[in-house]
Structure 1
Amino acid sequence: MKRNLENVYGPRGTFSTRERHGLTRNIDLSTGTLSGRSVVEEYNPRVSYYMNKEVGNFHYGVLHPMKPHRLTLTNHLVMNYGLHKYMDIFEPRQATEEEIVEFHSPNYTEFLKRVTPDNVQEIQEQFTSFNIGDDCPIFDGIWEFCKIYSGASIEAARKLISGDADICINWMGGLHHAKKYEPSGFCYVNDIVLAILQMLRVYPRVLYVDIDIHHGDGVQEAFYMTDRVMTVSFHKYNGDFFPGTGAIDEVGSGIGKYSTINVPLKDGIEDSEYNSLFKSVISEVMKAFRPTAIVLQCGADSLGLDRLGVFNLSIKGHGECVRFMKKFNIPMLVLGGGGYTVRNVARCWTYETGIICGVDLQNTLPNTVYTDFFAPDYKLHPVLGGKITNENTKSFLEAVRTSVIEQLRYLKGAPSVQMQEIPPDIQGFLESESNYNFDVQSDLNKDQKDPIVGIPKKSMVSEYYEDDMDNE
């Protein structure tokens, strides 16, 4: 099902009747804003959590920093903390090729579908054109891996569209660097763009917020010329740090001018400064753009001590961004992203799952078959900050904030789009959704501390531990 993207996020896209799908809670449809309040202090959302029991077994390579195994660690912590009691758990269907080519080119999609480690010599000439290399290697099951995490984001977006959830979580997703014609930065299929394309058919305005340490360039590029998606990225920027984009003067183009917000930061930023700037910028964005849905990318490489990161954020500081976004009481899709010290990624996303569910988690981690990954402290909140010199002066941060606020003043008001009946193709998926409610209790072996029965403990030599003695 290939579609012209202009028909998706153009000025006359298609939208659902909100009353029909129960999406009118606290939303004024004439303005797209919350009725009578902008922030909700006490909010118990209906949460859907998307997981796949096999996704952690995919393997980029022993020396590659991207470790899908972090998802296995996260799911084990989430379940052993008992957070499954506060969510609907789903194992989603895989994305179809037709869904993936709604954004990605057919040639690139066909390449991902065909390529394997065994046939690389046969199609070697295509590698350069598709940016295949050390960052984006070919590994066993690459196409299935892409379909799993993309399918989860698409299904999560549709769950929000249906009104059956207020917040959907897919820690598998958030791979924000992938471009239309090529992979980039460990990302092959841009599940974020695919999810937003679904949401745009129902929600007039979608806000994308990215707290990964790397600029969300793939998402920005996809929506650079529309005013119906505002992208807001908080990231390290000096012109050289990957991906090299995300300068403050990248503001969008055409009717999308001023709808791209970049918040470039320097090394070593701490919790208090980051959270203050984040809340100030997002508060102004919410007033100016008035989103009717939010996508939040929670890349955990902005944590202190990340293998590829240079910030000093704690898990609580990172999670405070999630807590703040939750308070707006707007349908929200929460995604993963970067994060290369796997034990801290799992801690962070577990903590943020607790925030979304409204559950305070004890600092001592529950026992699982993966407990040794969290040695020597076995805590949810290890000390992560203060290792990198903070180069973000007060004057620099104030200049960034002022520049962003000034940019928002140029917006000509949030775009208004005529609402129509939900399109038949999406309606069909909502009525016959192929994902199923994951029965946690039936998979729970009460004689073990490991609730996710069926996830094999698969490992490579020195692959997952990040000690001085490992080979990463």
Structure 2
Amino acid sequence: MRSKDRISYFYDGDVGSVYFGPNHPMKPHRLCMTHHLVLSYELHQKMEVYRPHKAYPVELAQFHSADYVDFLHRITPDTQHMFSDELVKYNLGEDCPVFENLFEFCQIYAGGTIDAARRLNNQLCDIAINWAGGLHHAKKCEASGFCYINDLVLGILELLKHHARVLYIDIDVHHGDGVEEAFYFTDRVMTVSFHKYGDMFFPGTGDVKETGEREGKYYAINVPLKDGIDDTSFTRLFKSIISKVVETYVPGAIVLQCGADSLAGDRLGCFNLSIDGHAECVRFVKKFNLPLLVTGGGGYTKENVARCWTVETGVLLDTELPNEIPDNEYIKYFSPEYSLRIPNGHIENLNSKSYLGTIKMQVFENLRSIQHAPGVQMQEVPPDFYIPDFDEDEQNPDERMDQHTQDKQIQRDDEYYEGDHDNDQNMEDV
């Protein structure tokens, strides 16, 4: 057992001030609510709080195609009508709208996950948290499912510079398809996704039979679930599969995506998990004492998202939180109970013991095909990414560099602030 874990936590207040649109279920505002709840429980005093750097286009292009990154960089709500073909090509539109400061939003949440991975690689912390990250549906050349840049893939690529094998675990209600697809042909990343599957549920992938191909055969694990799974069934299945995975695969680091749409009462979800059940998975993964990168993900009942990720921050800090929510800037969202715990859901559990038993057996069967950890030859570790100098000659003189752009080029480190009021003008409907 190592002594007290060193925890790095990444947050930038600007990430919560973007707005996807009036009827869109994704509310980045939930990130401000989470952060203020973390502050109100004084958890920030037990960890290092950082403002992430804003990822550069060239960093995003480590996974995404350069033309897609460039388009995200250029497109604005005012100009999108001129690019109808590109919007179709890159899957921007209803689910993935173009909104004000879209690219900066991507830079912040991706920068947080990349920074988290680098701190882990440099052994500056044991656990790194970026609740703004976890956007697991984005593909190499297109947006998908409210996700534009796949920060998880970028974080894993960073971890692979120092670790022969990385384990990715996903407890979002939706299948972690973008991450699985990115590493489908390699044994250097094992992806394990627990998700709802069937009945045309987005994204429609994630059958237990999807196991990877070529060198990646059996290194993609899918645990397809039905409506209404509860804490007991979920955590039992989670623990037995993850134990066997860690024992068989022997990863050097773990990335855990904690999508909160698997909670009871989520606007888009259909599971019955309580916050304690969800957090039990985090507690279990922490016990392996491996370098751990933790992100957010889905979650569309925002007061419950804030509750969940705050409790899980507490779990990672070995801190039990009192149930009564302390006063904070967003306290009114937690009325009338003002309590941290939420009631369990009442959706009928369609996951029979025999169904779950069959899934578990198939997963174990696939793991037996691996037998032992693959012998990955570690190549020389490439250097951390160096940020290129800006060449003033190359910058388009017609595009005056506004103050906002200049600010984005300043790398702010180690910044910490008690209160952000950048959200006051954007308190959208609950």
TM-score, L = length of structure 1: 0.84
Q: Which one of 438, 442, 466 corresponds to residue 415 of structure 2?
A: 438
Compare 204-213 and 113-122 and name the one that shifted more. 113-122
Contact kept in structure 1, 2:265 and 2:345, CA below 8 Å = no
Q: Which residue of 1 aligns with 2:251?
A: 291
SS at match of 1:409: helix
1:102 equivalenced with 2:62 (yes/no): yes
What is the deviation of 1:386? 3.1
Q: Which residue of 1 aligns with 2:312?
A: 352
- In 2, Cα distance between equivalents of 1:455 and 1:378: 24
Matched residue type, 1:302: S
Q: Which residue of 2 aligns with 1:158?
A: 118
Q: What are the residue-to-residue correspondences of 1:401-440 with 2, within 5 Å?
A: 401-419=360-378, 422-426=381-385, 434-439=411-416
Q: Which residue of 1 aligns with 2:196?
A: 236
Q: What are the residue-to-residue correspondences of 1:445-460 with 2, within 5 Å?
A: 451-460=418-427
Q: Which residue of 2 aligns with 1:171?
A: 131
Q: What are the residue-to-residue correspondences of 1:71-470 with 2, within 5 Å?
A: 71-238=31-198, 240-383=200-343, 385-419=344-378, 422-426=381-385, 434-439=411-416, 443=417, 451-460=418-427, 463-465=428-430
Q: Deviations over 1:395-442 (max 9, x none)?
A: 11111111111110001422223345542344899xxx9451233xxx
- In 2, Cα distance between equivalents of 1:160 and 1:407: 30
Q: Deviations over 1:142-169 (max 9, x none)?
A: 1111011001100110000000000000
SS at match of 1:209: strand
* Structure 2 unpaired stretches of 5+: 389-409
Contact kept in structure 2, 1:239 and 1:245, CA below 8 Å = no
Matched residue type, 2:7: V
Contact kept in structure 2, 1:204 and 1:415, CA below 8 Å = no
SS at match of 2:293: strand
- In 2, Cα distance between equivalents of 1:434 and 1:161: 20
Contact kept in structure 1, 2:261 and 2:298, CA below 8 Å = yes
What is the deviation of 1:330? 0.1
Compare 60-69 and 405-414 and name the one that shifted more. 405-414
Contact kept in structure 2, 1:43 and 1:329, CA below 8 Å = no
Matched residue type, 2:415: F
- Structure with higher RCO (Cα < 8 A, 6+ apart): 1
What is the deviation of 1:43? 5.8
Matched residue type, 1:122: M
What is the deviation of 1:124? 1.5
- In 2, Cα distance between equivalents of 1:386 and 1:118: 42
- In 2, Cα distance between equivalents of 1:393 and 1:456: 45
Q: Which residue of 2 aligns with 1:10?
A: none
Q: Which residue of 1 aligns with 2:7?
A: 47
- In 2, Cα distance between equivalents of 1:377 and 1:83: 22
SS at match of 1:369: coil
Compare 414-423 and 362-371 and name the one that shifted more. 414-423
- In 1, Cα distance between equivalents of 2:384 and 2:135: 25
Contact kept in structure 2, 1:79 and 1:452, CA below 8 Å = no
- In 2, Cα distance between equivalents of 1:185 and 1:174: 12
SS at match of 1:233: strand
Matched residue type, 1:407: N
Q: What is the aligned-residue identity percentage?
A: 53
Contact kept in structure 2, 1:44 and 1:358, CA below 8 Å = no
Q: Deviations over 1:159-198 (max 9, x none)?
A: 0000000000000000000000100000000000001001
SS at match of 2:128: strand
Matched residue type, 1:216: G
- In 2, Cα distance between equivalents of 1:424 and 1:392: 47
Q: Which residue of 1 aligns with 2:393?
A: none
What is the deviation of 1:366? 0.7
What is the deviation of 1:81? 0.3
- In 2, Cα distance between equivalents of 1:387 and 1:111: 44
What is the deviation of 1:121? 1.4
What is the deviation of 1:239? 5.4
What is the deviation of 1:209? 0.0
Contact kept in structure 2, 1:50 and 1:92, CA below 8 Å = yes
- In 1, Cα distance between equivalents of 2:217 and 2:199: 22
Q: Deviations over 1:36-92 (max 9, x none)?
A: xxxx5x862100000001111001001100000000000000011000111000001
What is the deviation of 1:376? 1.1
Contact kept in structure 1, 2:188 and 2:376, CA below 8 Å = no
* Structure 1 unpaired stretches of 5+: 1-39, 444-450, 466-472
- In 2, Cα distance between equivalents of 1:376 and 1:43: 40
Contact kept in structure 1, 2:16 and 2:423, CA below 8 Å = no
Matched residue type, 2:367: L
TM-score, L = length of structure 2: 0.92
Contact kept in structure 1, 2:127 and 2:291, CA below 8 Å = yes
What is the RMSD computed on CA atoms of the aligned residues? Answer: 1.6
